[in-house]
Structure formats: structure tokens, C-alpha cells
Amino acid sequence: MYAFFFRHVLSRLDPERAHHLAFDVIRAIPRSGFASLVRRYTAPDASLAVRALGLEFESPFGVAAGFDKDGRAIVGLGLLGFGHVEVGTLTAKAQPGNEKPRLFRLVPDRAVINRMGFNNGGAASAALRIAQTTSASWRPIVGINIGKSRVVDVADAIDDYRSSARALAPVADYLVVNVSSPNTPGLRGLQELDKLAPLLTAVREEAGPVPLLVKIAPDLSDDEVRRISELAVSLGLDGIIATNTTISRDGLRTDPSVVDAAGAGGLSGPPVAARSLEVLRLVRAVVPAEMCVISVGGVETAADVAERLTAGATLVQGYTAFLYRGPFWAREVNRGLARIGRRQDAQRSH
């Protein structure tokens, strides 16, 4: 039914408008009177629970940053079956993001190009909103992803990140330093080790006991991935998220004229899956087994998520397939993961 609705209704709407319509529905679920019914339909199987970052996740599958930029739909997303929601990217200063249009579907690839530009209402405003969810029923684990404010020079990025971390650490289950979006000028340069080490050290100080992770780009070289992984270990970070969107346009099935018309931005969805999996394996080969590694990039099905878990991911995130799979995507993935787990248990028992 959703596939029919997407093909004949949503696909004809501006992608950002379609996102906002779906988002408003998700926000309304906790107040709809149907929350308990939705929860019974979508609750992850108990066998899927994962202990990571000192926290208990109902499912290893969560929503990547970018879907809920301001922490407005945390409880609704939890009700849909996501084990965690990564809010953001949030910046110290409120900002409107890039000019529209800034979100584009590549339907033949089930992919998306975005150049949103960290549009959000600012860290302080989000902190107040997220704090109001702490006692809510069905609240998932909440990660908060922070980035550099566009008006702040790269040379002043540390103080800017410090400000965001100071405001958001008290309401976060974990924090993520985003230095890998392609849509903020100069941001990816912060992945250079001489810039990244002092930045992560500063945010670590502000985060205090809150688990801290860094999110990296798929466009790094293998050697750069290894070096950043080693840095994360040496600084005592709690984890790495691999990966963000890619600036590559290789191997797309969508008409090149459509891709060219979309222009610059980060590509997400199945076209980034292979590189995301490669980066996951590179990271896991460097970091200790107990370090949390969150894999994101191109996952659609339970089999995709299971592949990432087998390759060493502690948790897995998705976003783009939400647009193509619909509101019960997390339920589909969780049900599939439970079936895969039962099948594996049966094979081991023989």
C-alpha cells in the first residue's frame, strides 16, 4: 500500500515537503490515542536487545541523524520500532540551512541527494525540547549529533562545538561530533588529524560522562580511516559512526541529466552501501572489540542490517530507505532480524 502511495502521491511532491508531511504524522502518533496500539504492532522482539555505550537498546536498528533535526519526533519514532534516534545535526547557532530546493530523489537508485546545510533551530532550543521527552513512555535511546555553525569560521570551530556540547550533553544518551557532512564549507577539513584531535579533546571535556562518538565520511582514503580510528582509540572515545553521505556519483542508474540537475550535495542510499561496509570493516579491524561502531549507509532490509552486524557493527542506522519503505520500515527490519536470529540459533543447535 505504501509503495502505491509513494508512486502516485509522494513521488509527485517536492521531496522536502513530502518529508515534512510524513514527519508531522510521526510527531502526532504519541498524542493520537493509538500510541499503545502502534507500540504493540511495532515493538522489537526481546531477543534483539543490545547493550552498548553503557545503555540498553531495544533493537540494534535506529534512525540516522538528518531525519529528526530538532528532536521533535523522538517518541513517535520510538513508537515505530526504532531502537534509537540520532537527533540533529544541531549547531550552536540557529540557521536556516541552504537555499531550496535542497533535497532530491534518485528513484531508480532508491537514493537521495541532499544539501540541507544543517538547518535547525539551535542547540539551546533543542535541549529544552529533548529534556521534555526524558520521562515519556516509549522513548528510545537518544543520540545527539552536533556540527559547526555556518557563520563560524573553521578556525573558531572548537569553541562552537564546545557550546553545542555544553547545551546538549545533559539531555543526550550519547553525543556525536559530525565533521563529515559535505554541505557546510570547510567542515570535512576538520577530519584532518591535526584539527580533529584538539576538537574531539575539547568536546570530550564538555561531554563529561556522556558517551562520545565521531562520524566520518565514506570519501576518506583507507589509510585516513585507519588513522582516525586509531586517534579515536587513543583519545578514549566511545565509538565511531561510519559513514556519512558521499560526494561520489559513481555507478548510478538514474539518468545523468537528473543527477546533474540535482547538483552538489551528499548522496545517500544503496549507492553508498558498498563503501560504507568497507569502511565499517576497516574501522573494526583497528578498534578494540568493546568499542561501539555504528554502521550507516545504504541499508534497506533486515538482511542488510544483519550483514553489518556480522561485519562488526554494534548498531546500525538508516534514513534514506524510510522515504521509500514507509512508516513501518523499522518493524519490517526488526521482524526480519528476529527471524534471522531464530534461524541462526536453530542452525547452531544442530
Q: List, by residue number, the catalytic residues.
A: 181
Cell of 145: 549529533
Distances (CA, A) of 7 to 31, 67, 222: 29, 21, 38
The amino acid that residue 207 corresponds to is: A
CA nearest to 76, candidates 41, 16, 32: 32
Q: Please, what is the end-to-end C-alpha distance for the chain in angstroms? A: 39
d(CA 320, CA 296): 10
d(CA 125, CA 96): 14
CA nearest to 161, candidates 124, 211, 206: 206
d(CA 71, CA 92): 15
